[in-house]
Amino acid sequence: MNNMQIIRGFRDILPENIKLWQKVEKEAKELFEDFGFDEIRLPVLEKTEVFARSIGEATDIVEKEMYTFPDRKGDKLTLRPEATASMVRAYVQHKMYASDPVRKFYTIGPMFRRERPQKGRYRQFYQIDAEIFGVESAYVDANLIFLLNELFSRLGLSDLKAHINSLGCPDCRPDFQKALLNLLESKKEELCPDCIRRKESNPLRTLDCKVPQCKEALKEAPTTLDFLCKECHGHFETVKRVLKQQNVEFIEDKTLVRGLDYYTRTAFEIQTTSLGAQSAVAGGGRYDLLVKEMGGPDIPAIGFAIGFDRLVEVMEALEKSADKQLLDLFIIALGDAATEKGYYWSTDLNLKGIRCEIDYRGKSLKALMKRADKLGAKYVLIAGEKEIKENALILRNMNTREQISISADNPVADIVGAFKKNN
């Protein structure tokens, strides 16, 4: 057992895999900014209460997945398993609703859940999270789903489908729950031990059970859609109408219930067919009661979280690649004087946006040419003692093998010029 190894379920995202992450992040940020969202950065550690209260005591996340520990003074702290709770905590704590309740935020960062690690499921994973506070209208529900759809299409992903459902509100949910409880009672012999427990603590979660026997027993279970009140029904109809109008494909999925307690009305998931079992790439929904429950005023809200790791995995499965950034220029400086000059040239070039490297190890021209090749350099600048003495450095285009001679007095300007001409 090697203690200098990474923790199970955690992983390093290595430079050779980072390009897709950067591409997704760039597209997401551009889109969010265009749609009027502001970035917010939140801590990864919060008081346990922040998550237990919001996500719900009887959810899988709070019951079995959180990293919770006492700090040195005994306060109970938790590594955030998701971002919405912290987002609401911050919105309330800073009274961000005071000047105008309508606020739109996004945040990107790591989340922690102690689940069984497997492909698409990690103990530290990343989410891209967006939330809209202060709007009850169904237009923003449609807008968020539209936004997700647009992001995925900009990333070239077409096998993703939005599944949407409505979970109702405190007016219509009790009737639904009564009907569901009746059914659970009548089928209790067939349910798994988890569902027997959920029957008491969190009946809605039984509809999301993955055990085949439970699925079979609950095939005919009542759904929230059958019980929607007039307002919730109208809200859901508007969401669907607007999505159709904007050509966003979706599936009305009455079995979609989501794993967190705070959702009301619209709930949605974006699912893929290319990842096998871990099919949800993003999930979200409306949580109109949560701001108040966490000590704020009665302000509605809605949001989503994209599973960043899974999104990248879908892109990898579809062989979407981001351009690998190659080296623009490799400086071959031979001898101490040339190396000193080469160092200043290289920093000047870096400042001018040219990705350039120099090797300080005093290797031979042949070895350095080999390294330039390996690094995929577009150009090589050769500055040997002879070139410096004759004031004629060699700039070689590695693709065309064309060589030009440039003065050693101000090679930076000439190199920038050559780049402007050829790229």
Near ligand ATP by CB under 6 A: residue from 127, 264, 266, 272: 127
Longest Cα–Cα distance of the chain, Å, equals 95
Per rule CB under 6 A, is residue 217 in the interface with ligand ATP? no
* Cβ proximity of 202 and 179 under 8 Å: no
How many residues of this chain bind ligand ATP (CB under 6 A)? 18
Binding to ligand ATP by CB under 6 A, coded x per residue (else -) over 64-93, reads ------------------x-----------
What's the CA gap between 415 and 291, in Å, rounded?
57
Nearer CB in complex with ligand ATP: 310/341: 310
Q: Which stretch binds ligand ATP (CB under 6 A): 172-180, 281-289, 318-326, 388-396?
A: 281-289
Residue 120: CB minimum distance to ligand ATP, A: 6
Nearer Cβ to ligand ATP (128/380): 128
E strand or H helix at 193: helix 193-201
Q: Which is nearer to ligand ATP, 125 or 379 (CB)?
A: 125
> What is the helix (H) or strand (E) element at residue 92, kind and residue range?
helix 84-93
Stretch near ligand ATP under the rule CB under 6 A, chosen from 99-107, 242-250, 307-315, 374-382: 307-315
Judged by CB under 6 A, which of 138, 172, 232, 282 binds ligand ATP?
282
- Asked if 114 touches ligand ATP (CB under 6 A), the answer is no
Determine, following the binding rule CB under 6 A, whether residue 113 of this chain makes contact with ligand ATP.
yes
Told to check if 303 binds ligand ATP by CB under 6 A, we report no
CB of 124 to ligand ATP, least distance (A): 8
384 near ligand ATP, judged by CB under 6 A:
no
- Residue 377, SS3? coil
Q: By CB under 6 A, is residue 296 in contact with ligand ATP?
A: no
Are 126 and 112 spatial neighbours (Cβ–Cβ below 8 Å)? no
Based on the shown chain and the rule CB under 6 A, indicate whether residue 335 belongs to the binding site for ligand ATP.
no
Q: Does residue number 106 form part of the binding site for ligand ATP (CB under 6 A)?
A: no
Binds ligand ATP (CB under 6 A): choice among 204, 207, 228, 305: 305
* Residues 6 or more apart in contact with residue 34 via CB below 8 angstroms: none
Q: What x/- string results for residues 29 through 68 when contact with ligand ATP is judged by CB under 6 A?
A: ----------------------------------------
- Give 101 or 284: the residue with its C-beta nearer to ligand ATP: 284
Q: Which parts of 352-410 fold into alpha helices (H)? A: 365-374, 385-389
Each residue of 100-136: b (16+ CB within 10 Å) or e?
ebebbbbbbbebbbbbeeeebbbbbbbbbbbbbbbbb
| Contact between 285 and ligand ATP per CB under 6 A | no
**Which one among 125, 263, 287, 345 touches ligand ATP, defined by CB under 6 A?**
125
Q: Measure the CA–CA gap between 275 and 187, rounded to whole angstroms.
A: 33
Total residues found in the chain within this entry:
423
Single out the residue of 104, 161, 235, 310 in contact with ligand ATP (rule: CB under 6 A). Answer: 310
Closest CA to 88 of 27, 40, 34, 148: 40
Q: List strand residue ranges (DSSP E) for 89-154, in order.
A: 103-112, 124-133
* Per CB under 6 A, 309 contacts ligand ATP: yes
Q: Would you count residue 290 as binding ligand ATP (CB under 6 A)?
A: no
Exposure string for 387-412, b = 16+ CB within 10 A, e = fewer: bbeeeebbbbebeeeeeeebebeebb
259 lies in the binding site for ligand ATP (CB under 6 A): yes
Q: Where are the beta strands (DSSP E) in 173-262?
A: 250-252
Q: Half-sphere exposure of 174 toward its Cβ, with a 13 Å CA cutoff?
A: 2
- Cβ 195 vs Cβ 58: under 8 Å: no
Contact at 8 Å (CB) between 126 and 308? yes
Q: Does 300 bind ligand ATP (CB under 6 A)?
A: no
Nearer to ligand ATP, 218 or 372 (CB): 218
Q: Does 354 bind ligand ATP (CB under 6 A)?
A: no
Using DSSP's 3-state secondary structure scheme, residue 285 falls into strand
Per the CB < 8 A criterion, the answer to whether 295 and 182 are in contact is: no
Distance between CA 416 and CA 355 in Å, rounded? 11
Query: Amino acid identity of 230?
Result: K
Q: Quick one: which segment of 35-43, 119-127, 165-173, 344-352 binds ligand ATP (CB under 6 A)? A: 119-127
Name the residues that contact ligand ATP, by CB under 6 A. Answer: 82, 113, 115, 120-122, 125, 127, 259, 278, 280-283, 305, 307, 309-310
